[in-house]
Amino acid sequence: MTRILVTGATGTVGTHLVRELRSRGADFRTARGSLAYDLDGIDRVYVCAADGPRKVAHETALIEAAAEAGVERIVKLSALHADPASPLPAHRWHGEIEAALRKSRVPSVVLRPAFFMTNLLMVAEGVARTGLLHAPTAGRRVAMIDVRDVAEVAAIALLDEESAGHTYDLTGPKAITFADVATAMADATARPVRSVDLTEEQARPRFESAGLPGWLAMQLAGVFGLIRAGAFERVTGTVEAVTGHPARDIGEFAREHAAAFTR
């Protein structure tokens, strides 16, 4: 039986990936910590270290170790707009790691998801308190994705033969505005929720004063810049093509997390 190593198993996607692999009866183990992994007897690896300035070093070290150990497939969690020339830190890191993966020649599957619906949980407390959803989107649409769909595609990419060699751009089922998100939150919580579109200037101090590391504040501001430029409006049918079911929509996500948007 194929043996799988899952890194980032405690992460947003990793938690669901572990459940998926378990439900599919896969033979897998999880790595304890980004640097503490044992590749002995491992055939396939899911690569996901925490974002941050050490990400490229951590993931490329794992890719090199996997190549050395003769691992037959790597599934790398990347991001839409990954590019070594990107001004956005995480997109640049993913671009650099994808390049290292190609260089390693280990057969791979690259997952490039769009904006995670779980990002909305970062503002859940404010929505619960004020009934307002603030975001600098200029009314543009985002084909946001439920991380459970990312995890399901990751599990299939680790287990099935058809996925090998693919780069999957993963989105939700529809491109939606933050006004649509507010409506979904209102329906799920039976409370009024209204979206308030901020200008870039109004949003900047919010990112800067949120107590986030500098690279993360820059990443978030950059992602909303891409949203305002329409760069997250494209819908791909990849989740459905790979999993056989439509991607989960914002209504389902909002109902599942209704408590977070209410407390």
Ligand X SMILES: NC(=O)c1ccc[n+]([C@@H]2O[C@H](COP(=O)([O-])OP(=O)(O)OC[C@H]3O[C@@H](n4cnc5c(N)ncnc54)[C@H](OP(=O)(O)O)[C@@H]3O)[C@@H](O)[C@H]2O)c1
Report the interface residues with ligand X, using CB under 6 A. Answer: 8-14, 33-34, 48, 50-51, 77, 79, 90, 113, 115-116, 119
Provide the sign of the torsion angle of the four alpha carbons 195, 199, 201, 202, taken in this order: negative
Of the pair 113, 159, the CB lying nearest ligand X is at 113
CB of 186 to ligand X, least distance (A): 23
CB of 119 to ligand X, least distance (A): 5
Total Cβ atoms within 10 A of residue 118: 17
CB of 204 to ligand X, least distance (A): 20
Of the pair 116, 168, the CB lying nearest ligand X is at 116
CA-nearest of 71, 81, 88 to 5 is 71
The phi and psi torsions of 164 (rounded to 5 degrees) equal: -50, 135
Of the pair 18, 106, the CB lying nearest ligand X is at 18
Half-sphere exposure of 54 (CA within 13 A, CB side): 7
Of the pair 48, 143, the CB lying nearest ligand X is at 48
Of the pair 77, 184, the CB lying nearest ligand X is at 77
CB of 191 to ligand X, least distance (A): 25
CB of 263 to ligand X, least distance (A): 22
CB of 176 to ligand X, least distance (A): 15
Q: Which residue is nearest to ligand X (CB)?
A: 11
Of the pair 48, 62, the CB lying nearest ligand X is at 48
CB of 223 to ligand X, least distance (A): 7
Stated length of the chain? 263
Of the pair 31, 185, the CB lying nearest ligand X is at 31
